[in-house]
């Protein structure tokens, strides 16, 4: 409870009336509820009103941090216009991070591993500073030393003056921390298992990549390869991460940037089982890990697996997909069917999704329209050409057109014939293959999983496989919230240490709660709500598009009720009527705070998560910012938070298995 006043002017005189209010949440909004009207109060009356509020709420006087309760004293009059705040420091986020660090007993582990020597500041303390900075405000080591540390309360929490935290000491802490990666992973496995009662009978495995800024000439792992960040122009490294079904990390490995995912399976499985034992656990992987060699190795060594299959596997099961029997509903709009493998020691799970079918139909229709439009224009150009055109040139143009629309390229039969009667010398003919349409109608919205686990139900197998989104969520948090990318370090050991610090920060992130770290964007009931709006004509064409309905569905998320966009509260209530919004408290979300580049007008000192303020740098000759073609690439200079926050993979339940494309 607190006091709030309102000013009324009458006959040239201002009347200030006070009321006692409290903040309550109703229907997802924070509103102010009037407890008592107090009228006009002087200073003593306001003090008595505050005492009344404390009596009602049962709360005592709030003391400052690290300060004992002072005896009651007489009030002192002060000049408010002469008060100012100096050296306000962040406390809430760093205190929470430090508490999580100690809850995982990483402080004692680092003291034991790093030891004590002649250094002024213990290396274990500097390691904690690196991880806490990565968790609270990801930035370079120079930014931590020159700006961030001095704006936090870590100086009081850790007992290290800001003058002793410099970039050289932080870099040396990275070098000291890296050799103990294996011991840290083993400690976290035991500690997280004790805190959250984790089961390691099922492990999720996936691979992502992160790119470098710079040449990285002295790093043998920095190579060019398939970029999940859509940056083929930059060198990169690949990161293989193993997590539990709850998304809690078990360990990771770093590979060269040109390493293919399918070649990492045997090394990762062997490494993890050598560290933690070869129990009868189940390995869950996406279709990027599928190969005949890997499957034969998993079968030969007696390991259990649940793995996605390539698109070509769908054609082998087209007859079973067309049948209408033995299908079981595993979720609203998703059906699955178990089929025995040809050798009898495997089980194939056929899955089909209604919304995934709508999405693929829309994609095929869009690509088919582009192909037909391109072929029609090309045929018209050949028909009206006044000079001869080389047949090979036409073939290359058709090849480029089909490469851009490969999802529907097999639908057309295209032929280029010699025609002496035409001025161009060639004639273009194309037709639609009806068998392709029939096959597409059968396989659209379908995917196939294979496993050697024979005693599970179709629903259990499907729900286990879609938990791969936990690994993809871990990659999204690493790249967005923890700013894993891009990597500015050039030395190979520093790159490895940078990834280790991000891994430890992610462990602290997950320790806050083992629930899925990515909120569902759109779920089944929400999509059904959008369909009802589209059927009634109230929805726009953009919202009713099948692609828009199917994008971003969280497969592992529980269904939720339809939501509607709430009107944004204005900062000036008089613009929309004071009476209409007099009880609504404007609030700012965490996402707004992180994206805001200016200091908010009001702030709570030492509480909450403070907004990051990246320094936007522009190249010389461009005073107005980056050119338009670089609009989506935010680059951070040295001393600024590196990396950009981007959305993760669009791996929805209706779309089936987690996608291999997109940023993770």
Q: Residue 283: which of 447, 452, 459, 473 has the closest Cα?
A: 452
CA atoms within 13 A on the CB side of 338: 17
**CA distances, 552 to each of 368, 520, 595 (Å):** 24, 8, 21
Cα distance between residue 123 and residue 110, in whole Å: 8
Confidence of residue 41 (pLDDT cuts 50, 70, 90): confident
* pLDDT score at 46: 72
* pLDDT score at 277: 84
> What is the number of other CB atoms lying within 10 angstroms of the CB of residue 133?
26
* pLDDT score at 42: 77
* pLDDT score at 496: 96
**Residue-range domain boundaries for the chain:** 2-60, 91-178, 181-346+452-512, 356-446
* pLDDT score at 53: 65
User: Among residues of the chain, what percentage have pLDDT more than 70?
Assistant: 74
Phi, psi (rounded to 5 degrees) for 218: -100, 15
Give the range among 82-91, 114-123, 140-149, 510-519 with minimum mean pLDDT: 510-519
Cα distance between residue 222 and residue 215, in whole Å: 9
For 192-203, the pLDDT digits (tens) are: 998 888 888 899
Strand segments, DSSP code E, in 319-425 are: 328-331, 334-340, 347-353, 412-418
CB 280 within 8 A of CB 201: yes
Give the range among 42-46, 273-277, 388-392, 575-579 with minimum mean pLDDT: 575-579
What letter does residue 90 receive in the DSSP assignment? B
At which residue do the structure tokens 């430890």 appear? 504
Phi, psi (rounded to 5 degrees) for 639: 90, 0
DSSP 301-319: TT-EEEEE--THHHHHTHH
Cα distance between residue 321 and residue 656, in whole Å: 15
Q: Across residues 50-67, what is the average pLDDT?
A: 56
Instruction: Measure the CA dihedral 575/578/580/582, to 10°.
Output: 130
Residue 17 in tokens: 């009336």
At which residue do the structure tokens 């309550």 appear? 24
Burial class (CB in 10 A: 0-12, 13-18, 19+), 583: middle
Cα distance between residue 237 and residue 253, in whole Å: 10
Q: Across residues 392-398, what is the average pLDDT?
A: 93
Give the range among 222-231, 327-336, 444-453, 629-638 with minimum mean pLDDT: 629-638
CB 533 within 8 A of CB 539: yes
Per DSSP, helices labelled H in 311-353 are: 312-316, 318-322
pLDDT over 60 at 662, yes or no: no
Q: What is the mean pLDDT of the chain?
A: 78
For 240-288, the pLDDT digits (tens) are: 999 998 889 999 999 999 999 999 999 999 999 988 887 778 999 999 9
Cα distance between residue 658 and residue 263, in whole Å: 19
Cα distance between residue 387 and residue 338, in whole Å: 60
CB 262 within 8 A of CB 294: yes
Q: Is the dihedral of CA 434, 436, 439, 440 positive or negative?
A: negative
């Amino acid at each position: 409870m607190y006091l709030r006043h309102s000013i009324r002017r009458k006959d040239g005189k201002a009347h200030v009336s006070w009321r006692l209010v409290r903040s309550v949440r109703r229907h997802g909004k924070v509103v102010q509820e009037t407890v008592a009207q107090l009228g006009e109060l002087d200073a003593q009356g306001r003090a008595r009103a505050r005492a009344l509020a404390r009596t009602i709420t049962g709360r005592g006087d709030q003391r400052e941090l690290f300060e004992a309760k002072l005896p009651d004293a007489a009030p002192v009059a002060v000049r408010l216009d002469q008060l100012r705040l100096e050296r306000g420091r962040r406390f809430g986020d760093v205190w929470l991070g430090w508490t999580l660090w100690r809850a995982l007993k990483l402080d004692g582990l680092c003291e034991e591993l790093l030891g004590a020597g002649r250094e002024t500041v213990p290396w274990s303390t500097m390691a904690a500073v690196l991880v806490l900075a990565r968790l609270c405000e990801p930035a370079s080591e120079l930014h931590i030393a020159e700006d961030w540390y001095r704006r936090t309360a870590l100086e009081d929490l850790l007992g290290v003056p800001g003058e002793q935290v410099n970039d050289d000491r932080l870099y040396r802490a990275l070098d000291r921390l890296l050799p103990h990666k294996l011991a840290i992973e083993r400690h976290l496995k035991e500690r997280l298992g004790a805190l959250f009662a984790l089961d390691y009978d099922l492990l999720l495995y996936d691979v992502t990549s992160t790119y470098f800024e710079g040449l990285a000439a002295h790093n043998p792992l920095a190579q060019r390869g398939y970029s999940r960040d859509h940056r083929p122009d930059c060198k990169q490294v690949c990161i293989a991460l193993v997590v539990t079904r709850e998304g809690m990390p078990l360990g990771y490995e770093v590979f060269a940037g040109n390493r293919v995912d399918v070649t990492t399976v045997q090394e990762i499985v062997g490494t993890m089982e050598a560290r933690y034992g070869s129990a009868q656990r189940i390995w869950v992987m996406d279709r990027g890990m599928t190969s005949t060699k890997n499957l034969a190795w998993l079968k030969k060594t007696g390991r259990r697996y649940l793995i996605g299959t390539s698109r070509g596997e769908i054609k082998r099961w087209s007859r079973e997909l067309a049948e209408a029997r033995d299908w079981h509903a595993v979720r609203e709009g998703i059906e699955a069917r178990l089929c025995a493998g040809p050798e009898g020691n495997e089980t194939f799970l056929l899955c089909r999704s209604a919304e995934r079918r709508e999405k693929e139909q829309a994609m095929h229709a869009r690509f088919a329209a582009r192909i037909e439009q391109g072929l029609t224009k090309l045929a018209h150009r050949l028909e009206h050409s006044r000079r001869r055109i080389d047949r090979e040139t036409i073939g290359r143009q058709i090849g480029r057109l089909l490469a851009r629309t490969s999802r529907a390229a097999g639908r057309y039969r295209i032929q280029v014939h010699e025609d002496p009667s035409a001025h161009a010398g060639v004639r273009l003919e194309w037709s639609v293959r009806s068998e392709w349409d029939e096959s597409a109608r059968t396989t659209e919205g379908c995917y196939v999983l294979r496993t050697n686990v024979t005693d599970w139900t179709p629903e259990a197998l499907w729900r286990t496989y879609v938990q791969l989104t936990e690994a993809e969520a871990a990659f999204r948090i690493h790249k967005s919230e923890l700013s894993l990318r891009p990597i500015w370090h050039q030395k190979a050991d520093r790159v490895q240490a940078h990834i280790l610090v991000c891994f430890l920060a992610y462990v602290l992130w997950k320790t806050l709660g083992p629930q899925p770290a990515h909120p569902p964007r759109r779920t089944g009931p929400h999509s059904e709500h959008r369909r009802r709006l589209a059927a009634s004509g109230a929805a726009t064409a953009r919202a009713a598009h099948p692609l828009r309905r199917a994008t971003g569905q969280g497969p592992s998320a529980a269904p939720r009720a339809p939501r509607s966009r709430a009107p944004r509260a204005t900062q000036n209530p008089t613009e929309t009527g004071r009476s209409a919004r007099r009880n609504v408290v404007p609030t700012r979300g965490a996402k707004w705070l992180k994206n805001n580049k200016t200091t908010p007008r009001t702030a709570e000192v030492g509480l909450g998560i403070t907004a990051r303020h990246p320094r936007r740098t522009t190249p010389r000759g461009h005073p107005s910012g980056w050119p338009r073609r670089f609009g989506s690439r935010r680059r951070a200079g040295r001393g600024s938070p590196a990396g950009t926050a981007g959305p993760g993979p669009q791996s929805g339940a209706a779309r089936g298995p987690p996608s291999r494309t997109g940023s993770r």
